Amino acid sequence: MILAAAKYAYPNAKVRAMRSRRLTSQDFHFLLEAKGLSSFLAYLATTSYGPIVSGLGDRVPDMGGLERQLARFLMEDYAKVVRSLRGKREQELVLALFSRFESENLKVLLRALFSGLGRHAVSYLLYPLGSLSTLPWDRLWACSNPAEAADLLIPTPFGRAIKHAIPQFEAQGRLFPLEMALDLSCFQRLNQAISALSSRSDRKAAKKILGPYVDILNISWVIRLRIHYGLSPEEIVNYSLPGGELLGLSQLYRLAQAEDIASFRGQIPRSLQREIGEVQEWGDLYPYLEAWLLRLFNRVFRGPSFHIGIEIAFLLEREWELMSLITLLEAKAQGVSPDKTAKKLPRQSPEVAYV
């Protein structure tokens, strides 16, 4: 305990100080009820996101560019957390979590190459990764096609999964296998980083947070791959992410076989069934599961402090704040009513208590 306290005293203090700057339920209430985009941005300028919004002046913002700029604070928080941690293994866990944003930028890059677009044309879609990312971005953008970029990624942490996906990409002539390989590599790296942690309490804390996180992602992926991509249950299970806590391959397969939302709900573990109630629409399912995760993250800060779970919960909590903020921003830009917007946000969570 003494060693753990010495190890995490500074990073935990750092995280709690950063966490104090998050948006409150009152902030979300006023942002939700803001009359139009200009009022929304005016209020947002009074929050911790003020430095980004204030720089807009009287200009009508480019929505895509503004969303990625709002993500700058999250990227900076990742860098601060990594610098605060002493151990390389703990740093690697945070970097593995961060690699999901590298994956998103790589997908943008591959789509641009596939469509013959240059870097400038899609720059507004890129996360401002900063110095944490060591991928050879200039060389990647100089590639002439996705296959060439995939080859360049083989020596990187994304390489193993990408290498196996290249033949599928070439046979199918679509980016889907490469994009799924990027996501899979992030979570393989995350699992390896958890296993490599030297402290049992660190491993337990990381699994307690990241296991349910992966479960929720796999549930959402089953819905997306079944409804939007029309994949078979066998294909869906093949693309499931490793590291879940409540859902194994057999449970995911049964979810993928569900014919309607009622039978889908029936295959979800009982501990989660209590969270989703009698949800009748596919689109309503995820906000309830998000709220469950947010409550889990919040409980981490009320329990024992000297483990890596504090840092992981904070970063994921901040990520959900950003996602909710972007949902609100897009709703204001499109003139969506507060009632309809609220249905897209995590239900009954501490961060959005007005729902």
Per-residue pLDDT tens, the chain, 355 aa: give them. Answer: 666 777 899 999 999 999 999 999 999 999 999 999 999 999 999 999 999 888 766 565 677 888 888 999 999 999 999 999 999 999 999 999 999 999 999 999 999 999 999 999 999 899 999 999 999 999 999 999 999 999 999 999 999 899 899 999 999 999 999 999 999 999 999 999 999 999 999 999 999 999 999 999 999 999 989 887 888 999 999 999 999 999 999 999 999 999 889 899 889 988 888 888 778 888 888 888 999 999 999 999 998 888 999 999 999 999 999 999 999 999 999 999 999 999 899 864 444 443 3
CB 180 within 8 A of CB 215: no
For residue 149, which amino acid is it?
A
**Per-residue pLDDT at 1:** 60
Closest CA to 110 of 98, 125, 128: 125
What total of structural domains would you count in the chain? Answer: 1
> What are the angstrom distances between the C-alpha of 1 and each of 82, 207, 307, 309?
22, 20, 10, 15
Closest CA to 83 of 95, 96, 71: 95
**Per-residue pLDDT at 52:** 87
**Per-residue pLDDT at 306:** 86
**Per-residue pLDDT at 278:** 73
End-to-end Cα separation, the chain, in angstroms? 40
Residues of the domain holding 235: 2-352
- How far apart CA 353 and CA 92 sit, in angstroms, is 34
Concatenating the DSSP letter of every residue in 171-223 gives: HHTSSHHHHHHHHHHHHHHHHHHHHH-S-HHHHHHHHHHHHHHHHHHHHHHHH
> What are the angstrom distances between the C-alpha of 220 and each of 36, 145, 177, 290, 324?
30, 30, 18, 11, 17
Sign of the alpha-carbon torsion through 5, 9, 12, 17: positive
**Per-residue pLDDT at 53:** 86
